Structure 1
Amino acid sequence: MRQALAGVDFAPVIPPWLLAGLAALALLALAPALLRVVRDAAGARRLAPARGALFRLLAFAALLLALANPRLVEETRETRPDIALLVVDRSDSAALGPRAAQVEAAREALEARARRLPELELRTVEAPEAGNQGTRLWTAMERALADIPRARLAGVIALSDGQVHDLPAAPALDAPFHLLLPGQPGEVDRRIRVVEAPGFGIVGRPVELRVVVEDLGVAPSQGGAARLSIRRDGAPPRVESVPVGREHRITLNIERGGPTVVELTAETRPGEVSDLNNRAVVAINGVRDRLRVLLVSGEPHAGERTWRRLLKADPNVDLVHFTILRPPEKDDLTPLHELALIAFPVRELFQVKLRDFDLIVFDRFANRGLLPPVYLRNIADYVRGGGALLLSVGPEFLGPTSLAATPLGQVIPARPPSGPGAAQAALLEGAFRPRVTETGGRHPVTENLPGANPAGAPGEATWGRWYRALRAEPRSGSVVMEGPGGAPLMLLDRVGEGRVALMLSDHIWLWSRGHDGGGPQGELLRRIAHWTMKEPELEEEDLTARIDHGQMTVLRRSLEAGPPPEIAITAPDGSVTRHRPEARGGRATVEMAATQPGVWSAADGRRTAYAAAEARNPMEVADLRATEAVLRPLAEATGGAVRWMGAGAAPALPELRRVAAGRDGQGAGWIGLRRNADHTVTGITALPLLPPWLALPLVLGLVLLAWRREGR
C-alpha cells in the first residue's frame, strides 16, 4: 500500500553550531534597541524599543531563516504487511484422542480469520515428532522466526498441548506469544515408570525390577491401589495389586539365555487422557555365569592340549581337567604320586557333582574300566536332562574299549562299524582337507568358517590338511563336516533336552600348529563348545526378533532346505501381518517398521519370538496431560494469552485483533497481534520555502525599512 506524507524540513547551508552562534550575535546586536529605557512626561522610566527595532529583528530573522534553508518535503512510502506466526504441534502427545482433529480445526479457522485482517500475513509452521527428543516446539519456532524481520513480527500463536521440552531458561521474544490448548484444564493421567531394570541377568538366578504406578493430576491422598499385569515372553500374565505413587519391587527368574521380554501393564484409570503410558516393556538378556567345564583326556597324544588351551583362554570358563597318564591294565611300577597330584575323583565328578557342570568333554577317552557303567549311564541321563557332551575321538573309538559300546553309546550320534576287519577298514589314514557339508553351510557352528569350501558346491577348502579320520555310521543328528570319501567327520545332535557333538578325528591340533596353512581351529572349537551349551546365537533351529530404532528384524534359522514359511508378526494392538522372509543359506530375515510401543511377536508356525519396542519418544509420553505450566511464563512476559479450546468437537477460539505497539495483547474473548506500521520510503520530493532569489531581496528590503525608520 502506497502513502504520501508531507512536512517541513530544514537543511542548513552552514553547520548548525555556526547558525546558533549567528543567532546569539543577532540577539546581542538587537538587545540595546529592544531594551532601551526612556522617561515619560511624568519622569517615570519605561522600556521603549528604538525606532526601526522591529524591522531590524525581522531582517535578522529573515537572514537566519534563509541560512536554515527550510524545505517542504513530501515522502512516498510503501507500507509492508505485518507477519504473524502460527506454530502447530504435530508431536505424538498432541495427536492423542480428539486433540489432532481439534488442533487441525483450529489451524483452519485461524488461517481464515487472519486472511480477513488487513495488512497481515499469517505463516504456518509445524513442529514435527522429534523421535526421542521430546517436543521441539521452540526449535521449530526459532527456525521460522529467522526468516521474519523482527520489525514486521506481529505475534506468535501456538497450537499445542503445552508439553514442550526445548524451551530455554530465558526465552527471548519481542512480540506477543499466545498459547491455545486443546481440551480443558484438570486432566488426569496414569503412567507406569520403571525406576530400575537390569539389562542382564544370570541364568538360574532371580532379578529384581523396581517400578512405580503414578496418577498425575490427582492428589496423593486419592492414590489407592492399581492392578499391575506382568507378562513374560507372551506367557499368561501374572497380576499383582500395587500401591499408586509408591515403589513396587518385582522378582523374576531368568530361565534361559538370550533376551527375556517382560511387559508391565497398569489398569486404566477412569477418565485418564490415554493409556499409552500405562504400559512399559523391559528386555533382560540372560547370560550364563562362569561356565563349568569338565575335560577328561584319555591316553596322551599330540593334540591333547588343544582343548585345554581353548577352554582356558575363555575367562568365563571354569575348567576342571583330568588326564589319564596310565591305563589301569598297565603297570610299569611307577609310583602313583609321580603320576598324579590327586586320585581321580570318579564318584565325586560323575555322581555327586555331575550336574554342576555345563559341559563334559572326552578327548580320546577309552573305556578301560576307569568309569563303571553306572557312571557312564549317569552321563547319558545328564545329557538327556539338558547337559552337554563333546567327544573328540581317535582310533580308540573303533576298538572294544569304545565309548559307543557303553551305556553312553545311547546318546552318541554315530557308531563304529562292526564285523571282522571293520575297525581296520574304518581307520582312514591319508591326507585330506575337511569339507563343510551342505547342511553344515546352514548350521551356525560351521557356516562362514574362514577358508571353508563353498557350502553345497564343488570346490576345496583352503585350510590345512589332516591325516587321520574314522568312518562311522550316523544314527542321528546333523553331519556338518565330512572327511575323505564323504565320510562323516563332525556330527551335532540334540538328545532330549541336551546336546552332543562328535568329532571323528584327532588331528584338529594340526591347524593350531599352522601346518599346511593352518585353519580356524579356535573359532570352530569355540562354536562347538558354545553350541552344546545352548548359546542362543548358535541355535540352528531358532526364531529371534529384535527392534532397533523403530525397525524390527526377525531372523529364522533352520537346517531345512526349501523356501521358508511365512512369518506372522503381531503388533501390540493385536493386528497381524504376514511376510515372506528373504532366505539366504540357513537364514531367513524379515524387516519392517515397528512404530507401536509394547511387545511384538513373530511366529513361523512352530516357534514364536518376542521383541520389545519402547515408546519412540519417552519424554513425549512421560506426561500426556495438556498443560499451560511450561509456556505460560513466556505468554505473560510478552503480553500474550493462554486459552483452552474446550472439549467439544469445534474448538472455542478467541477473536484476532490488531493492537498498537505497547498496548495489551489480550482481552476478554480476543487476542491481539501487534501493528508495527513498518514501511519502505520509495520517493522524496523537496521544495525550498525561502530560495536565494527570494531571501536576498527580502533581507535587503527589511534592512532598508529599518534604516529609513530609524533615520526619521
Structure 2
Amino acid sequence: MMFKILELMGIETRGYDRLMVHFTGLKSPASLWICIGVIILFCISAYFMVKPLSGLRRKVFILALHFIALIFAISIFLEPSLRLAKTAKLKSPIYILIDSSESMKAKASADQSRIQNALNWLEKNHAYFDALKNDYEVRWFRFDEKATSLQANFLDMPKISPDGQQTQILESIYRLKSELGDKRLAGLVIISDGADRGELSQIGSEQNPREKAKQLKDMERRVQGLGKIYTVLVAEEAGMKDLAITSVQHDGYGFVKNPFVVVVKLKMIGEDVKEVPVQLYQGQKLVAGKSVKLENGKEQSVELEFIPDQVGRFLFRVEVPVYQDEASVENNQKVFPLTILRDRIRILYIAGNPSWDEKFLRRTLEKNPSVDLVSFYILREMYDNPEASEQELALIPFPTQELFQKELPNFDIVIFQNFFGRDYMSPSYLENLRDYVVDQGGALIYIGGPRAFIKDSFNFPLEQILPVDFSFGETNYQISRLSLRLTDAGALHPLTNLAGGELENKSLWQGIGVLENYNQVLRVKPDAVVLVEHTQSNPGTLIAVREVGKGRVLMIATDSFWRFRFEQEGQEGQTKYYQLFWERALRWLVKDPEMKNHSLSLFKDKYKPGEDINIYFNVQDRSYQPVSGATVSLKAVQAPEGCSPAEMPGEEIAPGKYQFKLNLNCPGGYKLQAIAEKEGLVAGTDEAVLAVEKDSQELQDLSIRKDLMELLARAGDGELLKIPDSPAKMKFPDINLEEIIGAKDIPVWNNWLTLTIFVLLFGIFWAVRRYYSLS
C-alpha cells in the first residue's frame, strides 16, 4: 500500500522490499533532551491555557489541537525520512564448539584419547556437516576458558591440541553470546567430556533443590537466543580407570629434626582399590610412605609424616602407582620444592673454668631464642684436693663419653673455651670432634685462654681443623694490652661486617677498646681467612675462620673478648654489636643461606611450562670479594626423564654476579647446579631447585560428566548425543535472518507539503484560541 502511494508521488520503489521510518535528528543525544524540555513546557502552558475554559468538551478539543501541533513540530525537528531498503536472506548460523582443555588428552579407550575420539567422529560424519553447510552458516570453535574461532575449512584437516588450562563451558558460551550482540543462532553444538571447572559444575553440584532450580532457570534465560543446544559426550565413564593425586598440601617451610606433615588427597575413578601405596621422596630417597583404601569416585586424604635431617632447599615428590589402562599417568605424581630451616641451634659449650669471657658469652647465648644451649665448665680439676670423699661432693663428673660418642651428631656447634682436655677425655674423642666437623658438616668455635692453643699430641686432631698452627712455646698465652685492626677480608666478611659502610665498620672495631691478652700462634693456614688482627706479635691473628671438609671453624685467640661488650656498655646503642657478632657467627657456622659466599638464586620456585626463568649466580671468594671474569656454567643434575636441558654458559652482568636464562617446557622437578671456574680452579658452586607445573587442574579429576552435558542440553531445548551416535539426530530451525544490501532515504520534513500542513495546523490552533478568547 505504502509503496503504491510513494509511486503516485513519483518516487521510484522498484528493487526495494522494505520501508522504514528513520529519524536523523536522533543521532545527537542533545536532541532528545530538547524534545523532553519542549514537551514539559507545552504541558505546563496547556494546563494554564485551558484552565479558564468551562466545559469538558472545549478543554479536550483545545488540548487535542495543542498536542497534534506539538507532535508535528517535534517530528519536523527530528528530521524524519522514509528509508527504502533492499534485503537478502541469510543462512541461519550454527556454532560448533570443541573442548580443547587438557582433560581431553586423557584416554577415551585403550588406543586413543578423548580429543582424537571427537575428531574421528567429526571426520566420520563429514558428509553430514557438509550438507549442514548448504542450509546453515556453520562456524567452528575450540574452547577451554573461552572460545577461539577455527578456520572455516577446519573439518578438511581436523587437528586440535588439548592444552587448555580449564574447562569452562557456560563461561565460553556466555562470552560468545555477548560478542554476538543482537544476532541470534539457530543452534549450538558442544563436543566435550563435560569435565567442567566453572559455573556449570557448581550448578550440577548444588544440593539444595530450590537453589538448583533457580540456577537452572537462570541458565535457561541466559542461553536464550542461541537456538537449540546439542551436547556430544566424547567418552563413556564405564570402563574408564584413573588414579589421581588431586592435591598436595603442606606448610611453606619445615624445621630440621621436627616432624613435617604432607597431606595428599587422592581420587580413584573406575573401581575400588583395597590398598594404594602413597610414597614421599626427597630427591631419590624415600622419606615417608603409607597405604590408603580408596572407593570409586570418592576423594580420600592421607598424611605423610617425616623428620627432616638436613637444612637447605630440597625437591620432594609424591608418587602413587600407575595401574594398567589408566586414563592418564601424568597425575600419578606431584613435585614440590621445600625449604628446611633450623628451628633451634643446638650448642655444646665446654669451658675450662669460669671467667668473665665465659660469663658474657654464655649470657648472650642464653638470651638468643634460637639457641638450645648445653654448657659445662670445670670448677674442680684433677689435681685439686677438696679434702672430702667423692660422695660428699655436689659436682657431677664430666660426661665426656656420652657427649663425644653418642650425642655429638645432635649438636650443630661445639664451643671449646680455654679448654685442654687431656685430663678429662680420651684422645679418640678429639678425633670424633674432627670427623664431626670434616665429615658431618659440624661447626667448632675455639676460644683462647691459658689452657688453649697448647702444642701437644693430644690436641693434634684439633689443630688439624683450626685456622692456625699452634706455637711450640711452653706457654703461648700472653698478658698484654692490645688494640684491634680489621683486615681487608674482615671488612667484607659477614661475621665482622657489623656496621653499614666500610669506614664505619673499621671505626667500630678500632673503638672496641683495649683487650688484655692473646694467644700466640705459629702460622695461619693457607685456606684460612683472618678477619681481625693485633700488632703485638707476628702473626697477630686474633679472629680467623676456616672451611674444612663439610664443616666450618671459628677461632678467637683471646679470652678477653668480653671487653667488646664491657667497654661500650655506657655508649647508647653500641652494646648490640657484641650480640650481633655472635648472632652472625652462629649463622655463618651453620651455613645460613644468606651468608653463603656463592649462591644460586631464583625469583620464585614454581614456573609454568615455557615461562622465561632468570637465574642469578653470585660468586665470592673466601674473603667475600667478588670473583669477576670467571667461566660459569649451569647444568641439571636432576630433571624429568628425557627433559634434561643442555649445559649452558652464563653472562657476567656485574662484578661477581652472573646470569643464566632458561626455558623449561616439561612439567616436573629440576635440580640445577652452577659452577664457576677461574684459572683452572673451581671458584664456587651452588645448587637450586624448582618445579615446572601447569596452572591447570584438569588432570586432577578426569571424570566424564554426563550429568552436566544433559543439564546443558535440556536448558537449550536440545538433546545429549554420545559418540558414536549419528549427528542426524540434531535438528535446527530456520530463524529467517535478513541483511540489508541497499537503501535509499527520502526526507519528508523539508518539502512544501510538510510546511503547508505545519502552517495549517498552527493556523487552526491560533484561530480556535482566538475564538475562545484564550491568551
Number of residues paired by the alignment? 588
Q: 2:642 aligns with which of 549, 567, 574?
A: 574
Equivalence for 2:103: 93
Are residues 1:188 and 2:237 paired? no
Amino acid at match of 2:525: R
Is 2:705 the counterpart of 1:637? no
* Structure 1 residue 653: Cα displacement: 8.6
State the 1:483 CA deviation: 3.3
State the match for 1:451 in structure 2. Answer: 500
Question: 2:178 matched to which residue of 1?
Answer: 146
Amino acid at match of 1:292: R
Q: Which amino acid aligns with 1:176?
A: G
Deviation at 1:294, TM superposition (A): 2.6
Deviations 1:270-307 (A, max 9, x none): 43332121222355544445443233445666654553
Partner of 1:4: 18
- Provide closer, same or farther for how the CA distance between residues 415 and 147 of structure 1 changes in structure 2, counting only shifts above 3 A: same
Residue 162 of structure 1, CA deviation = 2.5
1:525 aligns with 2:582: yes
Cα deviation digits, residues 123-180 of structure 1 (max 9, x gap): 8575459999843443344334333324635444445442221115323321336465
Provide closer, same or farther for how the CA distance between residues 178 and 102 of structure 1 changes in structure 2, counting only shifts above 3 A.
Answer: farther
- Hey, what does 2:554 align to over in structure 1? 501
Structure 2: distance between partners of 1:508 and 1:585: 37
- After TM superposition, give the deviation of residue 111 of structure 1 in Å: 10
Q: Quick check: 2:412–2:590 contact (8 Å CA) kept in 1?
A: yes
Output the TM-score relative to the length of structure 2.
Answer: 0.59
SS in 1 for 2:708: coil
Query: Is the 8 Å Cα contact of residues 144 and 165 (structure 2) preserved in structure 1?
Result: no
Equivalent of 2:282, from 232, 241, 262? 232
Structural mapping, 1:301-380, within 5 Å:
304-322=358-376, 345-347=398-400, 350-351=403-404, 354-355=407-408, 357-362=410-415, 364-367=417-420, 371-372=424-425, 374=427, 376=430, 379-380=433-434
Query: What is the aligned-residue identity percentage?
Result: 17
Q: What residue number does 2:6 align with?
A: none
How do 1:398-413 residues align onto structure 2 when only pairs under 5 Å count? 400=454, 405=459, 408-413=462-467
Contact 1:292–1:358 (8 Å) recurs in 2: yes
Amino acid at match of 2:500: G
Whichever of the two has the greater Rg, that structure is 1
- Aligned twin of 1:386: 440
Match of 1:624 in 2: 702
Q: Which residue of 2 aligns with 1:475?
A: 525
CA distance in 2, matches of 1:496, 1:534: 13
Cα deviation digits, residues 72-102 of structure 1 (max 9, x gap)? x998457696666555544333456756678
2:729 aligned with 1:668: yes
Higher-RCO chain (CA-CA 8 Å, sequence separation at least 6): 1
Classify 1:343/1:406 alpha carbon distance in 2 versus 1 (closer, same or farther; 3 Å).
farther
Q: Report how far residue 233 of structure 1 moved.
A: 0.4
CA distance in 2 between counterparts of 1:421 and 1:342 reads 29
Greater shift in the superposed pair: 623-632 or 555-564: 555-564
Counterpart AA for 1:634: L
Please, which of 271, 280, 287 is the counterpart of residue 334 of structure 2? 280
Structure 1's unaligned 5+ residue stretches are 7-72, 647-651, 655-666, 693-712
Match of 2:691 in 1: 613
SS in 2 for 1:528: helix
**1 CA distance for matches of 2:130 and 2:581?**
72
Change (3 A) 1:566 1:167: same
Q: Compute the RMSD of aligned alpha carbons.
A: 5.6
- Shift in Å, 1:636: 1.2
**Higher percent of residues as helix:** 2
Deviation at 1:452, TM superposition (A): 5.5
Q: 1:357 to 1:615 in 2, by over 3 A?
A: closer
- Structure 2 gaps of 5+ residues are 1-14, 21-80, 107-111, 148-162, 204-214, 622-626, 676-681, 758-775
Q: For the Cα contact (< 8 Å) 2:246–2:267, is it kept in 1?
A: no
| Distance (Å, rounded) in 2 between the aligned partners of 1:427 and 1:241 | 69
Is contact 2:19-2:83 (8 Å) kept? yes
How far 1:350 sits from its partner (Å)? Answer: 4.1
Pair 1:618–1:320, CA change in 2 (3 A): same
Normalising by structure 1, we get a TM-score of 0.63
Residue type of the alignment partner of 1:234: Q
1:599 and 2:649 are equivalent in the alignment = no
8 Å Cα contact 2:614-2:659 kept in structure 1: yes
